[in-house]
Structure 1
Amino acid sequence: MLCLDIAWLTGTAFLARDPSDPTPEWPPQPDRIFSALVASWGLGGAKLDERAALEWLEVQEPPRLHLPESAHARDTVKVYVPPNDAKRDTVLPARRKRQERRFPAVALDPEAPVHLSLLWQAQMPGKHRDALDALARRTSYVGHSASLVRAAFREIEVPPDGLCAAQRAPYHGRLAELEALYKRHMDGEANARARPAMRRGTRPVAQVAARAFTSDTAHWAVFEHAGDWRPDLRAQAGLAEAMRLALMEAWTRVHEGTAPAWISGHEPDRSPARDAHLAIVPMANIGWQHSDGRMMGLALVPPAVEVSAWAASGPAAFARRQAFHRALARLGETDGEGRRILTLAPQGGRSWQWRLTPASSGLRSLDPARYVRGSRLWATATPVLLDRHLKSPGPPERSAEAKDMIRQACARAGLPDPAAVVLSMHSAVTCAPSARPAGGNPRWVGWARRKSFGGRAFVHVRLAFDEPVSGPILLGAGRFHGLGLFLPIREGRA
């Protein structure tokens, strides 16, 4: 059995998943390790024997991972650094404008001889032994260039216990793909960057660990319109924030303490929550031939990790689940008919009344099941708010950059790499509003923006997968506010 041992020499591994994600990637996946070996191959002169060794390695069954030492994520803080851009007016770092950066990292034991091992069910061929050893010796970092490592191949007979499956591994042709992308990038194509490989290990990966939001609709809390004024679907972000604040207030009344991070979206120090938190999504009359686009209600979708904790046996799990339901029961006030009425007034605007939907409602627009059924084709009911600003100069490059963001968002959400990503200003879901106002219309008829959204672009998306994928699918920077919500579609209709 072939084994690659890696140790981070400083006891800190800087391993960013994506510029928009503050959590580090741990353990680093085999695709990242393979890319580091490819970089060592290129810096070492691109020798033919080392290329052959890498091509042999990429076609092996995905390795399994062993973590001899424990690791914990460090708090990620914002720092402001001068960009490496020679086109600016000055090359002096002290005089450049600073840009926000984050460096997600995990803390490791600096004295440990090995922090991560990759194990392949294969014997190292003698003809590749020297080449692989040379590549490992020249690999000086994995992740950020400050993540200095020591790496070495060896052979073992008995694998250790506690192995876990790979989620992203190299595949046949990965070396050639990386080589071609590097050449295009050096030729001036700024968006020629490698996407994460999506080849998985042979051992199954737990669904709860891979997906952010629960697909068990029994745990969705659905509210429906109770009369009076009805808001436009494009007001979703403000309504979601008002609902979150109302739930946090109800939690405080019931439990005499602040709401947990999975509800509030913030850690106790007010920094953004490190893990997925509650999503508040719209329930609208869209997707059918005679839909009218009306907002019918809101649904509260708990994160899958929290629902998994509720499913555990014992009184602690039961109390944790009941704490959420007790807060839901205290939302709003009781009217003269004995109904619980929740009044939301987003940003001081007109109020919108809601009531908890009974199980026998019968309104198809309020049925969460339509958002989770499996399908190969998905389309946005609400547009995706891109994770960061587009930096490319022209429309083709900007489109390619946006598609790359969508693919990265799919990977973070535990989805397979889409076979196709199609971007549009208009939705493929009947009666869903466009991503941007039509020409000549005022900006206020567009989608409501929270201050944290900034000026990032909205875009409608269609995804095609090789195999059916189950929902819910929520992508982009506004996913916790109900933006980037997808519906499965068949023959162009949701």
Structure 2
Amino acid sequence: MEYVGRTGIRVLPGYRVTPRRPHVVYRWDAEVPPRVFNSLRRRAARIGYLGAADTPVRVRVSDTMPDVEGSPAGVYRPDPAGDLAINVPEEGDLELLDQMFDAWRRHGPGVGRSQFPALRHRVGYRSPTGRAGVDRGGVVAWLQLTGPRAVRGRRVSSVTAVFKDALLSRFQAIHGEPPPVLHGHGFRRTGFDLARYLALPDVGDPRSRGDIHGLALWLPPGSDSPERARIREAAFSLRRLYGYGVDVSVRPLMSEAGASAASPRRWTRTARCWTTVLPVVHERRVSVDLKEVARWCRHAGLPGPSEFRSARAPFIPGGADLAPAEVNRPGRGGRPYSHVMIWFDEPVTGPVVLGSARQRGLGLCVDVPGDGEVNAA
């Protein structure tokens, strides 16, 4: 069937997939003034299709809350720890689309999407078959470093510092005052729940050199969806990191092909055994035993480990063996640090980051293949 409103070429014959029950309800729990409600009804009546242009629909707006609880198709509910991530619109998207269209009319196809902030606002939802999850926080932006010269893993503290400064500056320019979760000033929750700025090195292969190929921004549990979306937008709009002796181009990670070190799959696996690729900075000046490592894990939102090993040097090829000046910040006093390998009774999903310098990316871990049986010998 050809949609009557189409003025372009005919759609080629092919398969079409439609819901078995073609009745979809979007529900908002909000009070709308009568004038606005009537305007919404008139606008909805003008909608001819949703999705592909050859799928005509009829849209109606009602002020009567439909009974969706008993729907055979089930109900999808917003849930930061849900099993789905759905792209949703946000305030300001229409204005930005108008700006993009005006720029295209003036300058033609030379206008690229990269000149405008991303319109992807992914929000967690729980599907009808998904279990209610526990919000443990998560990465909101994966970035890839580009340029002719690699950034050595020994520069991790400088890289994460300039990453943080650039993000705060960019957020200020786009949205105004950055939220305390990004910088810690005026933060009303515990200091263990701040954002983590992660540098992602190339490790694990016998030829790995530990060069930094990517960045990740992790936010703690409890961050609301609009705040996460604004932070993600600011991170994705970064194009250059400059300062502290670092000068490198950066872009959103659009594809995992050829970017194994920056790949989310590299750092979000589920495993029982994890080892540090960047040394963990100890939280206290005490002997490191299983009880102390369990304290690190608890503060990082992880279960307590069943076993651990500790050493001055890394356990994995490409791991960074840093000097004290490369770990401790000037004027803050030196803290002990080491590399660890830890085992959990149950599999743990990454990213796993331990120690008092988690916010600076130190203590980043990677899973050990085979749950570390060989290494434990």
- Is this contact kept in 2: 1:383–1:458, CA < 8 A? yes
- Is this contact kept in 2: 1:228–1:353, CA < 8 A? no
Distance 1:293 1:274, change over 3 A: closer
Q: Which residue of 2 aligns with 1:461?
A: 340
> How many residues align structurally?
243
Secondary structure of 1:305 counterpart: coil
Output the CA distance in 2 between the equivalents of 1:433 and 1:483: 10
Secondary structure of 1:353 counterpart: strand
Q: Which residue of 2 aligns with 1:384?
A: 280
**Residue 452 (structure 1) shift:** 6.7
Corresponding position: 1:286 with 2:184: no
**Residue 329 (structure 1) shift:** 4.3
**Residue 380 (structure 1) shift:** 0.5
Q: Which residue of 2 aligns with 1:259?
A: 178
Q: 1:249 aligns with which of 169, 176, 181?
A: 169
Q: Which residue of 2 aligns with 1:476?
A: 355
- Matched to 1:297, the amino acid is G
Summarize the alignment of residues 148-163 of structure 1 with structure 2, pairs less than 5 Å apart.
none
- Is this contact kept in 2: 1:453–1:478, CA < 8 A? no
Distance 1:369 1:453, change over 3 A: farther
**Residue 433 (structure 1) shift:** 2.0
Q: 2:241 aligns with which of 321, 328, 343?
A: 343
Distance 1:384 1:275, change over 3 A: closer
Query: CA-to-partner distance for each residue in 1:255-279, whole Å, 9 max, x for gaps?
Result: 2x320011122217xx996461221
Distance 1:458 1:358, change over 3 A: same
Output the CA distance in 2 between the equivalents of 1:456 and 1:303: 24
Q: Which residue of 2 aligns with 1:415?
A: 302
Summarize the alignment of residues 294-305 of structure 1 with structure 2, pairs less than 5 Å apart.
294-305=211-222
- Is this contact kept in 1: 2:197–2:359, CA < 8 A? yes
Q: Which residue of 2 aligns with 1:238?
A: 158
Output the CA distance in 1 between the equivalents of 2:179 and 2:185: 8
- Is this contact kept in 2: 1:453–1:477, CA < 8 A? no
Distance 1:475 1:275, change over 3 A: closer
**TM-score scaled to structure 2, two decimals?**
0.58
Output the CA distance in 2 between the equivalents of 1:414 and 1:486: 14
**Residue 455 (structure 1) shift:** 0.8
Distance 1:460 1:357, change over 3 A: same
Summarize the alignment of residues 433-472 of structure 1 with structure 2, pairs less than 5 Å apart.
433-436=320-323, 447-451=326-330, 454-472=333-351
Q: Quick one: percent identity of the two aligned structures?
A: 25
**Residue 419 (structure 1) shift:** 1.1
Q: What residue ranges of structure 2 are gaps of 5+ in the alignment?
A: 1-130
- Matched to 2:299, the amino acid is R
Corresponding position: 1:406 with 2:302: no
**TM-score scaled to structure 1, two decimals?**
0.45
**Residue 472 (structure 1) shift:** 1.8
Output the CA distance in 2 between the equivalents of 1:363 and 1:229: 15
Q: Which residue of 2 aligns with 1:115?
A: none
Query: CA-to-partner distance for each residue in 1:7-34, whole Å, 9 max, x for gaps?
Result: xxxxxxxxxxxxxxxxxxxxxxxxxxxx
- Is this contact kept in 2: 1:265–1:273, CA < 8 A? no
Q: Which residue of 2 aligns with 1:207?
A: 134
- Matched to 1:344, the amino acid is Y
- Is this contact kept in 1: 2:140–2:228, CA < 8 A? no
Output the CA distance in 2 between the equivalents of 1:473 and 1:482: 10
- Is this contact kept in 1: 2:306–2:344, CA < 8 A? yes
